[in-house]
Structure formats: structure tokens, C-alpha cells
């Protein structure tokens, strides 16, 4: 189902207040994983039937997931139709139809389809971004591609039933993709009274052909799709819907009872050949419209050539500028590191249930820094502790010095206390000598021993000196200093 479909009992749009609980619930699923395979990265849209997410597979590939709301998934008939409708796009056999890659059931029983992931913008988003109207040449180029897809689909008996600017997607590569083939019909086929009564009208009123607005499902066919194509072009070129109305009911009433106004009465600047193609597509009677998509495409190409002087097939593709962010990526930019089970191609995503990716990245850096700092502190404490332990084992504080001093203290002098003295922090144990340096015995004194008066040193042992050694020195006549005689030493 596409956004904006008609809801039962009150007729509120899925984009209005009725969608708020659906939106909140869809947002709550972000960061979770479906079937241990698909990580929900970004919420792309929410409708009355399903929510669409950009997802990452555990092998790194990216895709989109359309997740049926739980209350819809409770009905077995809806589930079967959801799967069947999901394969309709594959049956179209055209690159302009979004491919369905896989289908499965989530842990809570919600059915989901996996489709190719598109990067770009819808024509409605482009119209609004450009100020409310698109250039005429771009509208013709995009519509030409849209009609190519419809030619393939109608040849297979597939009618879209919900064509509008929001369901025509322009990729960054310039491709035109048609979204939501047949999904809008699910409500009509549901028999669950809690959801929608059988036969309830579905679609978007502003783009409904008269027979569609009247609820005549059997009369909705290929020409109804062409009316929707004309209404899409009308909006893109004029900036307003075919039928004005403040409420859904007013739009439905206008669609049922009033023919579409000529485009030139609303947008007089549109070239006449282009307006003629659109006006015929919007004829009230099906028999007056283009008979099929191929005839409308041929007329559109003729109008393009008449206006621009060259063929539409030679026209350049519509390109997207940098101002169009990649909405399939969170924030349109890179993110933090993902859970290892969910690598991505282009942007990592946050692990399931965790904080946002950019928060996780900062947290990892902070934790890493804290761990490194902690390890450095532990290493330093271990080093200091080890050295202190070595000092305690090999050099008890002051023990060697005190013992040496105690041997030189006379018996009547009490030995100094052997209580270890605290060592200042800036002095390391390795800097203390294990054995005090040896000094001449004649100079060694106890710390508390009084200093003895100086005496004349005794002559050195050896041969008795001769008479010339008395005295053993000479006196310098100039300086008066004594100089020892070498032979008397």
C-alpha cells in the first residue's frame, strides 16, 4: 500500500494523524534485526499497510524491506495476497518495476518483502524541491519512461491502480522506477472487520479516475491507469491536483461528478501540444481517453519533438545534484562503526538495539583511551611496587649502613636504631649503594664519635732515613711554605 490511501471509517489519510501510532511503532523497530539477517537502518516511509526500511544484510549487501503491520499480518488471506502482490513487479518483466528479492516472516509474525534499494527521490519530492512545479521537458522524459513500464505491465494484465508522483521514483543514475505495483488493492481484498470492510475503496483520491472514485472495481482497467498518468503530469506541471478539495470526501465527490479542467486554464504557460496529450488522458469517459499506454506514449513523443525539435529518446537523462541526499543512509552521511555482523556498503550502521552509530564511535574512542590510561597507571604502580619490593629484600632501609657504623662505634656508645627510615619518593632504591664505599681505617669514624685533635703523621714504615732528613722538609725562602723532601717520604 502506498501513502495517502483512503482509510475506512472517517477517511483519514495515512499521512495524517491516523498514521502517528504507525509511525511511532515503525520507528521503534529501527536498530533491530529481522530473522538474524536484515538489520533495519533507516525508516523510508510508513503507510496504512506497511512500513518501508533501508536494511543491511549480515553479508553486507543492502536492500529495502516492506514490513506488513502486525495487525495486517494476522489475517492469512491478507498474508497470501501480500506475497502474491509482491511478486507482481517481478512479473512485469521491466527494469522500471522494483524487483522483489526475498520474502519472510519476522519474529513477531509480521510478513515482509525484500526489494532492491533505491537512491534518489520521487517526482513529488522533486516537484516540491524545485518550488512546486517541474520543468516541462523533465515531466515529458519521466512520463515517457513511466509509460514504458505500463506498456509491459498492461501486456501481462497488471493494472497498477495507484499511480501518482509519490509512486514514480527517479534514481541517482537517471532511471525511472514505478513503486507499489498492486499493493493498494490489499485493503479491498481483506475480510478482517478490524481492518477494512471487503470492497472498501483504495487509492489516492486526487489521482483516481471517475470509475475508480465511484468504487467500481470491475471497471478499473488500463485506461484508469492512463487517467492517473495524466493527473500526475497535471500536478507536476501546474503545482495542484486535478480536483481541489479540503477533505478526502470533497476530492472524491469532485472526481465522481466533475470532469478535469483543461490544463491550460490552470497553467497557461504549458505548451499546447503537451496540454493536449494530458487533457485526453483525463477525459471523464474511458472511451474518450487514449486506448492504451503505447498510443499515449507515441502522442507524448510527438509533442516533445514538436516543442523541442528533437526526439525524446535522444534527450539527456534527468540527473540529481548533490543537494539530493542519499536517504537510504542515516543522516545522509557516514556513521560510526557497525556491529561486526552487519557490515555495510557505503555506510556502517549501529549494532542492533545499541546507541546511534556516531555515539558508539565516540564511546569506543573514549573507552579505548580510558583503558590505555588505566593500563599505563597499573604498569607504573607495578614498576614502583616491584622496585620497592626489591629494595626491601636486598637493601633493608639503612640496614647495611647502620650495621657498618655499629661495628665502628665503641662499646660505650649505644648503636643507632635500626628502624628503617622512610625513603623520599624521588629517590629510588636502585640509587642506594648496596655496600658503602671503603675508606681508610684511620679516617673511619662513628657518626657520634668526637673528633680527635690532629697529630703529626707517623713516618712511613721503611728504611731509616739519613741525617739529611732532619728535618724532612725544606722551607721556600720566597713563600715560606714547607716542601717535603722526596727521599724522606
List the catalytic residues: 162
Print the SS3 string covering the chain: CCCCCECCCCCCECCCHHHHHHHHHHHHCCCCEECCCEEEEEEEEECCCEEEEEEEECCCCEEEEEEECHHHHCCHHHHHHHHHHHCHHHHHCCCCECCEEEEEECCCCCEEEEECCCCEEEHHHHHHHCCCCCCHHHHHHHHHHHHHHHHHHHHCCCCCCCCCHHHEEEECCCCEEECCCCHHHHHHHCCCCCCCCCCCCCCCHHHCCHHHHCCCHHHCCHHHHHHHHHHHHHHHHHCCCCCCCCCHHHHHHHHHHCCCCCHHHHCCCCCHHHHHHHHHHCCCCHHHCCCCHHHHHHHHHHHHHHHHCCCHHHCCCCCCCCCCCCCCCHHHCCCCCCCCCCCCCCCCCCCCCCCCHHHHHHHHHHHHHHHHHHHHHHHHHHHHHHHHHHHHHHCCCCHHHHHHHHHHCCCCCCCCCCCCCCCCCCCCHHHCCCCCCCCCCCCCCCCCCCCCCCCCCCCCCCCCCCHHHCCCEEECCCCCCEEECHHHC
Amino acid at each position: 500500500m502506498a501513502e495517502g490511501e483512503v482509510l475506512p471509517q472517517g477517511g483519514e489519510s495515512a499521512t495524517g494523524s491516523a498514521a502517528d501510532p504507525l509511525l511511532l511503532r515503525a520507528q521503534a523497530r529501527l536498530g533491530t534485526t529481522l530473522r538474524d539477517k536484515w538489520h533495519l537502518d533507516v525508516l523510508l516511509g510508513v503507510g496504512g499497510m506497511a512500513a518501508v526500511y533501508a536494511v543491511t544484510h549480515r553479508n553486507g549487501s543492502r536492500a529495502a524491506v516492506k514490513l506488513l503491520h502486525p495487525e495486517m499480518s494476522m489475517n492469512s488471506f491478507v498474508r497470501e495476497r501480500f506475497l502474491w502482490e509482491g511478486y507482481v513487479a517481478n512479473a512485469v518483466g521491466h527494469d522500471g518495476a522494483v524487483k522483489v528479492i526475498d520474502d519472510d516472516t519476522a519474529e513477531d509474525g509480521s510478513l515482509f518483502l525484500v526489494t532492491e534499494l533505491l537512491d534518489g527521490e520521487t517526482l513529488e519530492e522533486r516537484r516540491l524541491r524545485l518550488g512546486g512545479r517541474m520543468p516541462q521537458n523533465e515531466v515529458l522524459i519521466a512520463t515517457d519512461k513511466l509509460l514504458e513500464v505500463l506498456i509491459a505491465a498492461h501486456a501481462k494484465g497488471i493494472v497498477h491502480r495507484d499511480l501518482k508522483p509519490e509512486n514514480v521514483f527517479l534514481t541517482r543514475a537517471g532511471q525511472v522506477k514505478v513503486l507499489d505495483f498492486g499493493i493498494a488493492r490489499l485493503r479491498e481484498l481483506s475480510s478482517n472487520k478490524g481492518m477494512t470492510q471487503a470492497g472498501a475503496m483504495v487509492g489516492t483520491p486526487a489521482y483516481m479516475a471517475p470509475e475508480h472514485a465511484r468504487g467500481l472495481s470491475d471497471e478499473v482497467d488500463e485506461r484508469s491507469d492512463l487517467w492517473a498518468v495524466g493527473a500526475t503530469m497535471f500536478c507536476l506541471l501546474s503545482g495542484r491536483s486535478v480536483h481541489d478539495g479540503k477533505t478526502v470526501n470533497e476530492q472524491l465527490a469532485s472526481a465522481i461528478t466533475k470532469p478535469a479542467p483543461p490544463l491550460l486554464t490552470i497553467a497557461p504557460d504549458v505548451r499546447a501540444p503537451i496540454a493536449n496529450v494530458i487533457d485526453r488522458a483525463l477525459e471523464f469517459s474511458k472511451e474518450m481517453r487514449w486506448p492504451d499506454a503505447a498510443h499515449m506514449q507515441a502522442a507524448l513523443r510527438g509533442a516533445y519533438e514538436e516543442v523541442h525539435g528533437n526526439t525524446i529518446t535522444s534527450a539527456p537523462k534527468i540527473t540529481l545534484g548533490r543537494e539530493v541526499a542519499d536517504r537510504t543512509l542515516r543522516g545522509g552521511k557516514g556513521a560510526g562503526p557497525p556491529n561486526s555482523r552487519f557490515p555495510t556498503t557505503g555506510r556502517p550502521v549501529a549494532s542492533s538495539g545499541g546507541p546511534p552509530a556516531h555515539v558508539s564511535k565516540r564511546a569506543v574512542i573514549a573507552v579505548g583511551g580510558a583503558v590505555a590510561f588505566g593500563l599505563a597507571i597499573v604498569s607504573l604502580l607495578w614498576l614502583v611496587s616491584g622496585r620497592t619490593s626489591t629494595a626491601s629484600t636486598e637493601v633493608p632501609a639503612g640496614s647495611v649502613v647502620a650495621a657498618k657504623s655499629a661495628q665502628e662505634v665503641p662499646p660505650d656508645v649505644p648503636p643507632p636504631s635500626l628502624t628503617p627510615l622512610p625513603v623520599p619518593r624521588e629517590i629510588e632504591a636502585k640509587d642506594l649503594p648496596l655496600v658503602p664505599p671503603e675508606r681508610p681505617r684511620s679516617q673511619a669514624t662513628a657518626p657520634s664519635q668526637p673528633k680527635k685533635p690532629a697529630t703529626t703523621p707517623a713516618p712511613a714504615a721503611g728504611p731509616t732515613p739519613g741525617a739529611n732528613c732532619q728535618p724532612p722538609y725544606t722551607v721556600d725562602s720566597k713563600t715560606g711554605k714547607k716542601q717535603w723532601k722526596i727521599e724522606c717520604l
